Chains A and B, each alone.
Chain A
Amino acid sequence: MTESLIGVRGRRTKSLVLTTVIAAGAVLMLLPFYWLIIATTYPSREIFASPPNVLPGPAFFDNLTGLLSDTLFGRAIGNSVLVASVYTLLGLVVCTAAGYAFAKFEFRGRGLLFGAVLITLALPSQVTLVPLFQIMVTLGWLDTYQALILPNLALPFGIFLMRQTMQAVPDELLQAARVDGAGEFRVFSRIVLPTVRPALAALAIFLFLAQWNEFVYPLVVLRTPESFTIPVSLASLQGIGTTDYGQLMMGTFLSVLPILVLFLFLQRHFVAGILAGAVKQ
């Protein structure tokens, strides 16, 4: 910290260079977002104008209403919101309960069960694509919400995260509550859950994001356009040659918008959730 005057000068130059380089990188990172937002405001044929559009154009609402009336994208938004929300709520319940059992109880079969959780963390989920499809056919669950929600509820990563977090809750706290006459569920809901609230927020965001963006599995079990979630709907829009590009960009933008807003408001939890999840599960 004790720098001579010359040192300070050198520092300043270094600081300027570093900040400039990083800023240039940041522009590259943010440019696609900017381009996307601009693209939503132009009619199809003008999106790829040369020189490129820098300022917003007039077609934002045309693209929006066009997308919602010409395609089933509005329906897809509804499906995604519903599925991701329910999945998040149920996933929180399942993962915290399991994490709690693994963290705070000694019981027969614990090692085996936890080992099973860890192994599925490493196995490629693509192996289960075919069997899950067959299960859903057998149950008659193709195109249903439960087909999307149920299979990944007991998310190995989520269980792992909650276990790690709950191990830090002191046993004495639980014992004291038990001595005071609290039932087991009460101990869980009143003592344990409140103390792990930050981890719950992180997990909730992780679950929501995972379900919101999930693609290949929904692609397999959703067959009719009415049941499509946003990513499947987007991919199908892109697939047909007649797609209006302005509408496609609008759909892409709408798929990111809620997540982006969530991110700006809950940055800390977001980073925690994604750090804990580190890449896809």
Chain B
Amino acid sequence: MNVLSSTAHASAGPTAEAAPFAAPPRPPRRRRRSSIGHPRITPYLFLLPTIVLFLGFKLYPYLSAFWTSLTSNIGGVITFVGLDNYLRLLEDPLFYKALGNTALILVVQVPLMLGLGIVLSVAFNSLLLKGRAFFRMAFFVPIVMGLVAYGILFSALFDSSAGIVNELLGYVGIGPIPWLVDPFWAKISIVLAMTWHYTGQNAIIYLAQLQSIPGELYEAAQVDGANGWQRFVNITLSGLRPALLLTVVLSTIGTLQLFDEPYVLTNGGPDNATLTVGMYLYQNGFKYFDFGYASAIGYALTVIIAVVSLIQFRLFRERAPKPISPKKSMSPKEKTR
């Protein structure tokens, strides 16, 4: 049905590229074929768009950003300045402030969110919970909201004077809390907003992993007299390890690049209390148009992300995976109740 048919039995042998002239009405284009019978060019054709786009919009920008980070641009005159931008970065108190804010949000928000996610996933997995499908959806649905949209929404909810959060807290005698206008509470607001947005997604990731843990493990552990906590630590947490690694690393990378939430919720304020590295990069690049410095911040961020991720991979690996062996020993199974 196809011009290729005459050579399609090439799979017979690796030397099939000796295409016979005895074939089709078409000009005898020599088709070099791989051992499994497709033209050698085929994979490259499938990859062509990716390669072109990759070169133009990924590789070139990354290289170009590195070059830019070594230059300064004063009044349109671009000069090579070596490592000056990086040296400036090392002495820039605002950069450290941004880094500190980002780190603080990271170490509070990620554990809070992932801890809640684990608890939720266990609940979602439990037969004791009624209406599980609905609850899964309810906790998951915030993720569909765009970052800007939920930023705007939360800036209204957390409004210090008229927001509904303070209104509700007022009913139980708390507050009013200066959510977005106080340096401390502004960070808390961002943490809470992010936790609302991402927790359900992480719970669903954990749930998927939990469902792959064989139920017999729990039964066997129970037979062996392990209490609920022991079962949770030794079976649940241990079984969640791959998903934990994934979510810890991805949440960390995401948080280190945090931009949208502080941009919309607090615009980095008050008094730069919620300025993040991502925002600082943006400000330098597109408010002050200091491309060299912005690029240096970008590469500093890259290095930080690489180092932190590497440490996390190490930590997770070193805690050698406890073989999940709840001693399925010959122990007497006659624990009649």
A residues at B contact (CB < 8 Å)? 2, 4, 7, 11, 14-15, 18-19, 21-23, 25-26, 28-30, 32-33, 35-36, 39, 47-48, 50-52, 93-94, 97-98, 100-102, 105-107, 110, 113, 116-117, 120, 122-135, 150-154, 159, 171, 175, 178-184, 186, 188, 209, 212-213, 215-216, 219-220, 230-232, 234-235, 238, 245, 248-249, 252, 255-256, 259-260, 263, 267, 270-271, 274-275, 278-280
Cα distance, A124 to B250, chains bound together (Å): 11
Asked whether A127 lies within 8 Å of B295 as measured between CB atoms, the reply is: yes
Q: Does B179 contact A (CB under 8 A)?
A: no
- A131-B60, A179-B11, A186-B2 known; A216-B65 Cβ under 8 A: no
CB distance from B304 to the nearest CB of A (A): 9
- A126-B259, A127-B298 known; A36-B47 Cβ under 8 A: no
Asked whether A32 lies within 8 Å of B154 as measured between CB atoms, the reply is: yes
From the candidates B3, B163, B257, B306, name the one contacting A126 in the complex (CB within 8 A). Answer: B257
Asked whether B34 lies within 8 Å of A97 as measured between CB atoms, the reply is: no
Q: Name the residue among A51, A150, A181, A186 with the largest chain B CB count within 10 angstroms.
A: A181
CB distance from A12 to the nearest CB of B (A): 9
> Could you list some 11 contacts between A and B, CB below 8 A?
A4-B337, A21-B123, A29-B142, A39-B156, A124-B256, A126-B278, A129-B282, A131-B62, A131-B68, A135-B61, A181-B1
**With a CB–CB cut-off of 8 A, which chain B residues contact A182?**
1-2, 4
- A231-B149, A278-B250 known; A15-B58 Cβ under 8 A: no
Cα distance, A242 to B140, chains bound together (Å): 34
Asked whether B2 lies within 8 Å of A129 as measured between CB atoms, the reply is: no
Asked whether B298 lies within 8 Å of A126 as measured between CB atoms, the reply is: yes
B residues at A contact (CB < 8 Å)? 1-5, 8-9, 11, 34-40, 42-47, 49-51, 53-54, 56-62, 64-65, 68, 120, 123, 126, 128-131, 134-135, 137-150, 152-157, 159, 162-164, 167-168, 196, 198, 200-201, 204-205, 208, 246-247, 250-251, 253-254, 256-257, 259-260, 263-264, 278, 281-282, 285-286, 291, 294-295, 298-299, 301-302, 305-306, 309, 337
CB distance from B302 to the nearest CB of A (A): 6
CB distance from A253 to the nearest CB of B (A): 8
CB distance from B209 to the nearest CB of A (A): 10
- A130-B65, A131-B60 known; A32-B196 Cβ under 8 A: yes
**With a CB–CB cut-off of 8 A, which chain B residues contact A159?**
50
Asked whether A52 lies within 8 Å of B68 as measured between CB atoms, the reply is: no
Asked whether B141 lies within 8 Å of A279 as measured between CB atoms, the reply is: no
From the candidates B4, B37, B251, B305, name the one contacting A124 in the complex (CB within 8 A). Answer: B305
**Which are the 7 A-B pairs with shortest beta-carbon distances?**
A181-B5, A213-B146, A48-B162, A131-B61, A127-B298, A105-B43, A26-B138
Asked whether B260 lies within 8 Å of A33 as measured between CB atoms, the reply is: no
Asked whether B254 lies within 8 Å of A280 as measured between CB atoms, the reply is: yes
CB distance from A93 to the nearest CB of B (A): 7
From the candidates B139, B146, B260, name the one contacting A26 in the complex (CB within 8 A). Answer: B139
**With a CB–CB cut-off of 8 A, which chain A residues contact B49?**
93-94, 97-98, 153-154
CB distance from A159 to the nearest CB of B (A): 7
CB distance from A66 to the nearest CB of B (A): 17
- A36-B153, A178-B8, A271-B140 known; A129-B281 Cβ under 8 A: yes
Asked whether B46 lies within 8 Å of A98 as measured between CB atoms, the reply is: yes
From the candidates B3, B4, B42, B196, name the one contacting A29 in the complex (CB within 8 A). Answer: B196
Cα distance, A11 to B149, chains bound together (Å): 41
**With a CB–CB cut-off of 8 A, which chain B residues contact A267?**
137
Asked whether B153 lies within 8 Å of A32 as measured between CB atoms, the reply is: yes
From the candidates A11, A22, A234, A260, name the one contacting B141 in the complex (CB within 8 A). Answer: A260
Cα distance, A134 to B278, chains bound together (Å): 19
Asked whether A22 lies within 8 Å of B123 as measured between CB atoms, the reply is: yes
Asked whether A252 lies within 8 Å of B153 as measured between CB atoms, the reply is: yes
CB distance from B155 to the nearest CB of A (A): 7
Cα distance, A124 to B135, chains bound together (Å): 34
Cα distance, A248 to B156, chains bound together (Å): 10
CB distance from B334 to the nearest CB of A (A): 13
Asked whether A98 lies within 8 Å of B135 as measured between CB atoms, the reply is: no
Cα distance, A11 to B263, chains bound together (Å): 47
- A22-B129, A23-B135, A98-B47 known; A126-B36 Cβ under 8 A: no
